[in-house]
Chain A
Amino acid sequence: MHLEYKVQGGNFSKAGHASGEIKKVLKQLNVNPMVIKRIVVALYEAEVNIVAHAYEGDIIVDIDDSKVHVVLNDSGPGIPSIERAMEKGYSTASPLVREMGFGAGMGLPNIKKNTDELNIKSVVGVGTTVDFINYL
């Protein structure tokens, strides 16, 4: 099964919408609830990162018998050092975004912890791709 969603940068009122839709589909497909829980955490964090840090992006999900493969692609400022960005507590979120309770620098660590395979590629000034797999 193949799913695609668009994500608008800066639009916090819709943040998490795509993750909710994908969760519904995974439930309908009777995917193991423990696996769904982990995917939802990773998905939400990656979706919100597009909203908080990039201009626009899309989410592509492919589900087969053995795995759920998710790719989030955005056009945006990119990440200068992925290694630093992965550190718990590292955040470049704006004061406004922090006031909302985002910007703890826990999103990428949450993604790492809740996925089986994670691959992040980023080009400064172009955008970021977050690619992860969870096995069923």
Chain B
Amino acid sequence: MVNGTARVADGVLESDSLLTMLRERLDLPGSKGACEQGECGSCSVYLDGVLVCSCLVLAAQADGHGVLTVEGLADGDRLDPVQQAFIDAGAVQCGFCTPGLVLAAHDLLGRHRDPSDLEIREALAGNLCRCTGYEKVLDAVRLALARRSR
């Protein structure tokens, strides 16, 4: 299951990562590969509700499991509040890190009602961003939290 739909991938190699399968075999290039070593978090997806680096998961390991990618986060045209907050706070520049950061923030909000600044930073520490200096990414998370508690 990928983004709520049962998917069959053709031509998957034994050596394919989940990231490669998503991008190259299932036409879901929203998850990004900036290191393919588990260092940057750009490839983050949910696997059975747990945030993972899809570059570190073999495609075969996802067989029969539920995958949620950034493409599946919005409800049709209605953005997830985290996505909207990223836009509104100016947390998106080049956007290459954005799918991963959006999912990491989404995961944090799902786990925490009221995370402290340090907890927010820790939750995002596995995601590299080279453009923003993270300040507006933190703003985005705080904005999403504030909107949720309204």
Are A and B co-members of a single complex? no
B interface residues (Cβ-Cβ under 8 A, vs A): none
